[in-house]
């Protein structure tokens, strides 16, 4: 019982301090400056951009991911410390969006890393982003944002999906340097 | 036989002071972000954000380590800065302060930075190596003018003890009112800007350039300990400035007014360190970042030269 109470308090306080690393390869990066600066000012809720994934709690995937970028995203995600949350940003992370028939982008982000929350739209407005952060805080408080637990539990499935996307054999070790050399 | 009650009292006092130092440091973190936000025409986080951030970092579940040096480095920094705080006279209230403690404090201020460097080195990240190199060069740069002004003060006041220095300034005979040390205060304030690693001297951290430098591999509890170190460092460095130039915040004498003097002195001390930090924040909010060679040039060309003139002035014994 006491442990549960402690977890509740911990979640209640932690939700007020979300440090975010935004993985801006898609066009969604454009919507972040107004959210961070004086127009919408997300620091009101204790959300601050961080320089490295080691320090961050929230990973923001803005827009489409090519297969090559996905490898980096997986590395960034695995470098983050638990508890960690992922927000998929824009239609591209949900179903590929306008890249629905592209040969080298992924269509559904949640197959590769667990996504806690999606923001639909192409592009989502800053208001939608703020709303998503508030929703994420609510989910953290209720203990519903459990993507990081899912990643531990279904690690095999996530790894299999990732490797299938990278078209590697299952026993092959993925390494960015190897990939760049090709 | 050792007086156990006195010893217990002493330990309680030390623990209380350390807690107070960390509490004020965490408050300063939120305060800094709020002030910067208001200058940027934003609302900013709540003023207690520092407490939330530290709590969250210590509540993180996984901790990725890079060996035992990496684990101990953050503790090393926190311990070093805490020791420095206990040696400082705070509002005229001395705990471990003894004769010759100015030298000791100047030495103790270097220890946490070295702990920081050890941790960054152990993480093996190239960004951390670049950051730590910049931090150590910056330390070399600002210590020269700082030490010269402090030596000038030691000659002028004929003491090597901060507690005595604070005592000599009581009754509003603050060092900053002596014309030559008014210039000295400006020089040390510039050095303080580098010590606090605020802009234009946040070269070592530089989040957009080298991904927060030495802290690049730190996260979770390690980063929490580092943040505690940074927060305590703000309190220690501003208190050092206040002790040197603003009479340490002593306005009422303890022998005359009893416990009321302690309360008033602590409040005045808190107001003064907040003021000193606020000035640093104002400079921080409007300046861009120097490159490291520009910072070195600034400190050694202008700051150190002015400090040298003050030293010669005081050494020659010219009555001011």
Quote the domain boundaries for residue A159. Answer: 2-181
Put simply, the answer to whether A81 touches B63 (Cβ < 8 Å) is: yes
What whole-number percentage of chain B has pLDDT above 70? Answer: 98
Q: Mean pLDDT over residues B9-33, rounded?
A: 88
Put simply, the answer to whether A38 touches B46 (Cβ < 8 Å) is: no
Reported ipTM: 0.80
What whole-number percentage of chain B has pLDDT above 90? Answer: 13
Q: Which residues of B touch A58 (CB under 8 A)?
A: none
Residue A33 CA to residue A27 CA, distance in Å, equals 12
Is the predicted pLDDT of residue A177 greater than 70, yes or no? no
Put simply, the answer to whether A81 touches B61 (Cβ < 8 Å) is: yes
| A52 Cβ under 8 Å from any chain B Cβ | yes
Put simply, the answer to whether B216 touches A10 (Cβ < 8 Å) is: no
Average pLDDT taken over every residue of chain B: 85
pLDDT at residue B2, rounded to an integer: 67
Task: Give the one of B41, B59, B219 whose C-beta lies nearest to A10's C-beta.
Answer: B59
Q: Mean pLDDT over residues A40-51, rounded?
A: 88
pLDDT, tens digit, 9 for 90 and up, residues B67-89? 888 888 888 889 989 988 888 88
SS3 A62: strand
Q: Are B49 and B29 in contact (CB under 8 A)?
A: yes
CA atoms in the 13 A half-sphere facing the CB of B101: 22
Top pLDDT among B51 and B204 is at B51
> Hey, how many other C-beta atoms are within 10 angstroms of the C-beta on B179?
9
Is the predicted pLDDT of residue B235 greater than 50, yes or no? yes
Is the predicted pLDDT of residue A176 greater than 70, yes or no? no
- Closest residue in B to A51 (Cα) is B211
Residue B289 CA to residue B295 CA, distance in Å, equals 9
pLDDT at residue A175, rounded to an integer: 47
Write out residues 10-29 of A within 8 Å (CB-CB) of B: 10, 13-14, 16-17
What are the Cα distances from residue B223, in Å, to B71, B115, B215? 10, 13, 7
Is the predicted pLDDT of residue A112 greater than 50, yes or no? yes
Residue B212 CA to residue B225 CA, distance in Å, equals 16
Q: Is B32 part of any domain?
A: no
Confidence category of residue B28, pLDDT binned at 50, 70, 90: very high
Put simply, the answer to whether B219 touches A14 (Cβ < 8 Å) is: no
| B41 Cβ under 8 Å from any chain A Cβ | yes
Q: Mean pLDDT over residues B25-54, rounded?
A: 90
Residue B168 CA to residue A117 CA, distance in Å, equals 62
Q: Are B40 and A43 in contact (CB under 8 A)?
A: no
Q: Is B50 part of any domain?
A: no
Q: Are B206 and B213 in contact (CB under 8 A)?
A: yes
Residue A87 CA to residue A56 CA, distance in Å, equals 13
Is the predicted pLDDT of residue A179 greater than 80, yes or no? no
Is the predicted pLDDT of residue B22 greater than 80, yes or no? yes
Q: Are A54 and A82 in contact (CB under 8 A)?
A: no
Q: Residue with structure tokens 């957009």?
A: B208
Rounded to the nearest angstrom, the minimum Cα separation between A41 and chain B is 6
Write out residues 185-244 of B within 8 Å (CB-CB) of A: 207-208, 211-212, 215-220, 223
Q: Are B43 and A40 in contact (CB under 8 A)?
A: no
Average pLDDT taken over every residue of chain A: 83
Put simply, the answer to whether A43 touches B42 (Cβ < 8 Å) is: yes
pLDDT, tens digit, 9 for 90 and up, residues B167-201? 888 777 787 888 888 888 899 998 999 888 888 88
Is the predicted pLDDT of residue A174 greater than 80, yes or no? no
SS3 B285: helix
Q: Mean pLDDT over residues B97-113, rounded?
A: 82
Rounded to the nearest angstrom, the minimum Cα separation between B298 and chain A is 28
What whole-number percentage of chain A has pLDDT above 90? Answer: 9
Top pLDDT among A124 and A177 is at A124
pLDDT at residue B1, rounded to an integer: 60
Q: How many domains does chain A have?
A: 1
Task: Give the one of B44, B63, B223 whose C-beta lies nearest to A43's C-beta.
Answer: B44
pLDDT at residue B271, rounded to an integer: 92
Interface probe for A, chosen from B38, B55, B59, B225 (most Cβ of A below 10 Å), is: B59
Beta bridge partners of A87: A60, A117
Which of A157-171, B17-31, B90-104, B294-308 has the lowest average pLDDT? A157-171
Put simply, the answer to whether B218 touches A17 (Cβ < 8 Å) is: no
Q: Are B118 and B73 in contact (CB under 8 A)?
A: yes
Residues 6+ apart with CB under 8 A from B21: B82, B85, B232, B235, B236
Quote the domain boundaries for residue B299. Answer: 59-315
Residue B320 CA to residue B181 CA, distance in Å, equals 10
Element (H, E) at A61: strand A58-62
- Closest residue in B to A13 (Cα) is B52
pLDDT at residue A168, rounded to an integer: 53
Residue A88 CA to residue B49 CA, distance in Å, equals 26
> Hey, how many other C-beta atoms are within 10 angstroms of the C-beta on A105?
21
Domain CATH number, residue A159? 3.40.50.12280
| A82 Cβ under 8 Å from any chain B Cβ | yes
pLDDT at residue A173, rounded to an integer: 47
Q: Mean pLDDT over residues A69-88, rounded?
A: 88
């Amino acid at each position: 019982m006491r442990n549960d109470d402690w977890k509740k308090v911990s979640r209640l306080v932690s939700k007020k301090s979300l440090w975010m690393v935004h993985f801006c390869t898609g066009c969604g990066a454009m919507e972040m400056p107004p959210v961070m600066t004086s127009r919408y000012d997300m620091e009101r809720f204790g959300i601050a951009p961080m320089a490295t994934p080691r320090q961050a709690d929230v990973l923001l995937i803005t827009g489409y991911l090519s297969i090559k970028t996905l490898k980096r995203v997986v590395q960034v995600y695995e470098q983050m410390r638990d508890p960690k949350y992922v927000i998929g940003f824009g239609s591209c992370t949900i179903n590929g969006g306008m890249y629905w028939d592209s040969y080298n982008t992924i269509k559904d982000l949640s197959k590769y890393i667990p996504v806690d929350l999606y923001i639909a739209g192409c592009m989502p407005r800053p208001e939608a982003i703020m709303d998503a952060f508030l929703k994420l805080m609510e989910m953290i408080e209720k203990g519903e944002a459990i993507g990081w637990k899912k990643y531990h539990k279904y690690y095999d499935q996530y790894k299999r999906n990732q490797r299938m996307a990278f078209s590697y054999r299952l026993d092959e070790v993925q390494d960015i340097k190897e990939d760049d050399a090709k | 036989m050792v007086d156990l009650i006195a010893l217990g009292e002493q330990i309680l006092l030390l623990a209380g002071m350390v807690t107070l130092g960390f509490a004020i440091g965490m408050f300063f973190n939120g305060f800094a972000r709020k002030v910067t936000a208001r200058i940027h025409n934003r609302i900013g986080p709540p003023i207690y954000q520092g407490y939330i951030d530290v709590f969250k970092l210590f509540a993180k579940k996984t901790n990725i380590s890079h060996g035992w040096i990496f684990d101990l480095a953050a503790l090393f920094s926190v311990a070093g800065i805490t020791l420095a705080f206990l040696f400082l006279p705070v509002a005229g209230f001395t705990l471990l302060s003894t004769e010759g403690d100015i030298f000791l404090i100047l030495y103790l201020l270097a220890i946490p930075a070295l702990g920081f460097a050890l941790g960054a080195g152990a993480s093996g990240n190239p960004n951390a190596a670049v950051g730590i190199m910049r931090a150590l060069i910056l330390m070399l740069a600002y210590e020269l003018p700082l030490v010269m002004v402090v030596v000038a003060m030691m000659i002028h006041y004929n003491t090597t003890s901060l507690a005595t220095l604070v005592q000599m300034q009581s009754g509003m005979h603050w060092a900053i009112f002596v014309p030559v040390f008014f210039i000295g205060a400006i020089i040390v304030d510039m050095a303080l800007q580098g010590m606090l690693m605020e802009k234009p001297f946040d070269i070592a951290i530089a989040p957009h350039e080298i991904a927060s430098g030495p802290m690049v591999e730190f996260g979770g509890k390690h980063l929490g300990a580092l943040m505690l170190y940074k927060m305590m460092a703000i309190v220690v460095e501003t208190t050092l400035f206040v002790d040197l130039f603003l009479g340490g915040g002593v306005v009422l004498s303890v022998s005359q007014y009893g416990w009321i003097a302690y309360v008033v002195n602590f409040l005045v001390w808190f107001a003064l360190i907040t003021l000193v930090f606020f000035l640093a924040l104002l400079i921080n909010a409007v300046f861009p970042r120097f490159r490291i060679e520009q910072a070195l040039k600034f400190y050694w060309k202008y700051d150190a030269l002015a400090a040298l003139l003050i030293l010669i002035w005081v050494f020659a014994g010219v009555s001011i």
